[in-house]
Structure 1
Amino acid sequence: MKTTKVHRIALLFNANNIFDYEVIEGIAAYLGRTRAAVDFFLEEDFRLRLSGIEQWQGDGIIANFDDPAVAEALSRCSVPVVAVGGSYADPANYPAGVPYVATDNFKLVELARQHLIDVGLQRFAMFSVPATAENRWAQERENAFRNLMQGDQLEPEIFRGCETSVHSWDEAVQRQIDWLRSLPKPLGIVAVTDARARQLLQACIIAGIDVPAQVAIIGIDNDPLVRRLSRIPLSSVIQGTQEMGRAAAHLLVQLLRGVPLPDTRTVMPPAGINVLASSQYELVKHPHVMRARHFIRQYACQGIKTEQVADHVGVSRSWLEAYFRQELGCSVHDMILSAKLNAAKAGLESSDCSIEDVALFSGFTSIEYLHVVFKRELGCTPRAYRQRVLSERGKMAGVQVKIPSATA
C-alpha cells in the first residue's frame, strides 16, 4: 500500500504577535483545505534556534523575514524557503532568490490617512517607533506617510517616542503628552501599530485631550487584544495577513513540487478598516458636548447614567440634554447606549468571547437586556449577529468558521 509522504514544515514566527499569528492561521487554513499531509514545527521563541538552522532536516520553511537575522540564517538553508514580511519601496531591499509575500506598507498608511481625510480632518501626524534593524517595516510606513504628505505639499509630522519599560514608562508617556500638546488641533494621527495607537490613547486620556474631537487616532493590525485593553475603542487598518499566509503556503507547495520560483514577490493589500470611536471625528462646537462625549467614550461600559455625565461636565441634566439635542440630535442616554452597543458588537465579532462576557464588559446588566437591545436596535439576537459576522468573515477567508455555543 502506497503511503502519502508527510512533509515537515518549520514556521519561524512569533505567535505572540498578531501579525505572525494571523499569517500562521492563513498557512494552516490553506494546507488544511488542500488536505496536505504536514507536520508543523513551531518554537515558542524560534530565534533561540537560529544557530544551526541550515542543518535542519525538514522539507521546507516559511519565516518572517522582517528580522535581518532570520534572513541571514536562512540564506544558508538547502530546503525550500518562503519569506513573509513588509513591502519595500526599493526592490533591492527584498531578499534575493527567495519567494516573498509582503504586506503593502504604503497601502496600509494610505488607507489610514484617507480615512482621516474622509471624516473631515485636514491636519495629520504619525506616531512611530524608534528605528532598529528589526522594525524596517515601521520605517517603510514612515516613508509612505512622508511621501503622501509631501505629495499634498504638507510638512510630515512624525514622532517616534521611545521604547517603553517599567522604568521608563512615565517618561515615555510624558514625552507623548508633550508632543500631543505641541500639535495644532483638531488632527488625525496614524500609528504604525495598534500597540502604539493604544499608548497614544492612554496619553490623551491622562492629558485630558479629547479623542477623537481634538485628536483622532487610527492604528494598524486590528488586534482584538489591544481593543479590549483600550478604554476608547480603537479604529484600525486590517492587514491581509491570513491571505498572506495562504499565499505563502501555496508558494511552498509549489517549491515542494519542484516548481522554480526565483524572486517571486506577492504584495498583499489591506483588507479594510475597522472603524471605531477613536477616529470618528465630528465637528462639535459646544465645549459641554465635547466634554460629555469624551467622558461617555471612556466610561459608557461601566454603567454610567445621564446624571453622572452632567455632573462631570458641571451642568444640569436638562441643560446637557438641550445641548445634545441641539448639536447631535439625540439624547445623552442615546449616546451612552450607542457606545455600549458598539462595544458589544466588537466583542461578538471575536469568536473566543462568550455572550455572557460580552454583556458584562459592554455594560449591559444581563444577557436578557443585551438580547432586548439587539432585537430592538439591530433586528436580531446577539448570537445571530455573531453568526452572520463570522460567517461572512469565513467566506472572505475561504475557511470554515466554528461558532462557539452560547446562550441568547
Structure 2
Amino acid sequence: MTRQHSAQRTHRIALLFNANKVYDREIITGIGNYLLSTRVAWDLFLEEDFRARLNGIEHFEGDGFIADFDDPAVCEALSDSLLPVVAVGGSYEDAAAYPPNLPYIATDNMQLVSLAYKHLIGAGLQRFALYSLPESPTNRWAQERERAFNALLKADGLEGDVHRGLPTSAPVWHQASVQLTEWLQSLPKPVGIIAVTDARARQLLQACLISGIPVPEQVAIIGIDNDPLTRSLTRIPLSSVIQGTEEMGRTAAHLLHQMLGGARFAGRRILVPPVGINVCESTKHEPLASPYVMRARHYIRQYACQGIKTEQVADYVGVSRSSLEDYFRRELGCTVHQEILKHKLDVAKQLLAQQDMSSAEVAIRCGFTSLQYMYAVFRRELDCTPREYQERLHAAQSVPSAPSTPDAPSAQMP
C-alpha cells in the first residue's frame, strides 16, 4: 500500500544582502547549500541587481527574512517586523551593538585577525600594521578588527600602526593613493600588513608596485575574504583569510527553518570561526641580505610570465648581469633564469589546478616558448607531464569527505 504524503508548504523568504560583495555572496551560497541538503521548500526573494533595496520591505508578503545587519538601514527597516528574522553580520565586543530579541550569526573578527597575525609571525616578521576603513556605522566590523589587532599586539608587548585611509571613490582616488603610498613609505621595514578586506589589500599591493616596494620581502600583505575577483586583478597573488561565510549562511538558514516551525531563538549569538588561510606569494616572506635580489624577485613576480630575460631583470635592478647572478647564487643558490622558470612553473601549477584550462593555454599564459618546453620543464622538475599533474590534482579533489549534518552547524556560541 502506498503511503500518501501531504504537500510541503513553500515559504517565501527575503534575503536582504548586497550580493555584489563576496562576503554577502558566500553567505547566500551557504543558504542555498542548506536548501540543497534538506527538503526545505523556500521561494527566495532577491533584488535582480543583488542590492538590498528596502523601500516598501515592510509590505513584503512572505514568511521571514535573513538579512545583513551590518547595514544600519536594514536594522531600522526590520526593527518592527512581525515575521521571523535571522540577522547576519560582524561580531561585536559591546552586547548593545547586537539587535535585541533576534538571533545573530556573526563572523568572529578576533579569530580572523588572530589567524592573519599568527601567519605573519610564522613568516618571520616582527613589525606589523593594519590597513582599515574610515570610521562609519556601516564599518563597525572594520573597527572591531582594529581593536582585535591592537589587543593582539598589546598582549605581545608590541605596537602596530593603523591606517584607515579614505573611502574608495573616484573623486578622492588620487588623494587616497598618495596618502597610502606615503604611509607605506613611512613604515619601518620589513613589515607585515593585515588589510581588513581583500579590496583594501589590493590597494596596498598596487601602491607597493607603483612605488617599487618589494612584496613580500619588504612588505608582506594578507587580506580577508579570499575574493577570487581580487586575485585576478593583482600581479602578485594575494594571501587571504577564508571566512566561514558559507557556514554562516547554512547556520542562518537552519535557524530560520526552525523558527518557521515555531522555535524561538531571541537574543541567541553564534560566532562562526574562519576556515583557514589561502597562502600565496604576498606573504611568502624570506629575509634576504641583498637589496638587489629583493628588487629582482619583485620584478620577476610581476613579469616572469611575459617572457622576461635575465638581462631585463638586471636592467631593472641597475646592476650588471654577472653581478646579479653572483648575488642570486649567494642568496638563493640558483641563477636568475632558474628563478624566472620557478615562478612560471608555480603559476602553471595554479592554472592547471583550475581544471578548465588546457596545457596549451597554460603554456601561453605562463610565457613558455612552446608547449614542448613546458612539458620538458614539468618532467624535469616534477617527474610528470602537465596533464598527469592535472589528473593527480583532480583525483585528489575527487576523494569524498565526511558529510556534515545540517542539524549541527559547526559554530561557536559565546
TM-score between both structures, scaled by the size of structure 2: 0.88
Q: 1:298 aligns with which of 299, 302, 307?
A: 302
Q: Is the 8 A contact 2:17 2:52 kept in 1?
A: no
Decide whether aligned partners of structure 1 residues 58 and 376 sit closer, same or farther in structure 2, where only a CA change above 3 A counts. Answer: farther
CA distance in 1, matches of 2:261, 2:375: 52
Q: Which residue of 2 aligns with 1:89?
A: 93
Helix, strand or coil for the counterpart of 1:168? helix
Deviation per CA, 1:179-212, whole angstroms, max 9, x where unpaired? 1111111111111001001101111111111111
Deviation per CA, 1:226-255, whole angstroms, max 9, x where unpaired? 011011111111111111111111111111
1:147 aligns with 2:147: no
Q: Which residue of 1 aligns with 2:193?
A: 189
Question: Which structure has the larger Rg?
Answer: 2
1:111 aligns with 2:115: yes
TM-score between both structures, scaled by the size of structure 1: 0.89
Compute the RMSD of aligned alpha carbons.
2.5
Deviation per CA, 1:2-53, whole angstroms, max 9, x where unpaired? 3221122211111110111111111111110113222211114566631331
Helix, strand or coil for the counterpart of 2:170? coil
Helix, strand or coil for the counterpart of 2:12? strand
Q: Which residue of 2 aligns with 1:122?
A: 126
Q: Is the 8 A contact 2:195 2:223 kept in 1?
A: yes
Decide whether aligned partners of structure 1 residues 196 and 357 sit closer, same or farther in structure 2, where only a CA change above 3 A counts. Answer: farther
Q: Which residue of 2 aligns with 1:35?
A: 39
Deviation per CA, 1:87-111, whole angstroms, max 9, x where unpaired? 1122221111111111111111111
Give the partner amino acid of 1:336.
I
How many residues matched?
A: 398
Consecutive unaligned residues in structure 1, runs of 5 or more: 400-408
Q: Is the 8 A contact 1:129 1:162 kept in 2?
A: yes
Q: Structure 1 vs Structure 2: percent identity of aligned residues?
A: 60
Q: Which residue of 1 aligns with 2:332?
A: 328
Q: 1:383 aligns with which of 373, 385, 390?
A: 390
1:238 aligns with 2:245: no
CA distance in 2, matches of 1:397, 1:105: 27
Consecutive unaligned residues in structure 2, runs of 5 or more: 406-414
Q: CA deviation at 1:69?
A: 0.9
Q: Is the 8 A contact 1:8 1:41 kept in 2?
A: yes
Q: Which residue of 2 aligns with 1:157?
A: 161
Helix, strand or coil for the counterpart of 1:49? coil
CA distance in 1, matches of 2:44, 2:357: 27
Decide whether aligned partners of structure 1 residues 70 and 29 sit closer, same or farther in structure 2, where only a CA change above 3 A counts. Answer: same
Q: Is the 8 A contact 1:242 1:397 kept in 2?
A: no
CA distance in 1, matches of 2:138, 2:373: 48
Decide whether aligned partners of structure 1 residues 216 and 62 sit closer, same or farther in structure 2, where only a CA change above 3 A counts. Answer: same
Q: 1:259 aligns with which of 260, 263, 269?
A: 263
Decide whether aligned partners of structure 1 residues 49 and 204 sit closer, same or farther in structure 2, where only a CA change above 3 A counts. Answer: closer
Q: CA deviation at 1:368?
A: 6.3
Decide whether aligned partners of structure 1 residues 48 and 286 sit closer, same or farther in structure 2, where only a CA change above 3 A counts. Answer: closer
Q: Which residue of 1 aligns with 2:272?
A: 268
**How does 1:187-226 map onto structure 2 within 5 Å?**
187-226=191-230
Q: Is the 8 A contact 1:123 1:187 kept in 2?
A: yes
1:343 aligns with 2:350: no
CA distance in 1, matches of 2:35, 2:105: 17
Give the partner amino acid of 2:394.
Q
CA distance in 1, matches of 2:104, 2:328: 53
Q: Is the 8 A contact 1:30 1:249 kept in 2?
A: yes
Q: CA deviation at 1:358?
A: 4.9
Using the TM superposition, name which of 4-13 and 316-325 deviates more. 316-325
Q: Which residue of 2 aligns with 1:65?
A: 69
Q: Is the 8 A contact 1:54 1:78 kept in 2?
A: no
Deviation per CA, 1:261-285, whole angstroms, max 9, x where unpaired? 1222211111111111111111100
Give the partner amino acid of 2:245.
T
Helix, strand or coil for the counterpart of 1:76? coil
Using the TM superposition, name which of 148-157 and 132-141 deviates more. 148-157
Q: CA deviation at 1:58?
A: 1.2
Give the partner amino acid of 1:72.
E
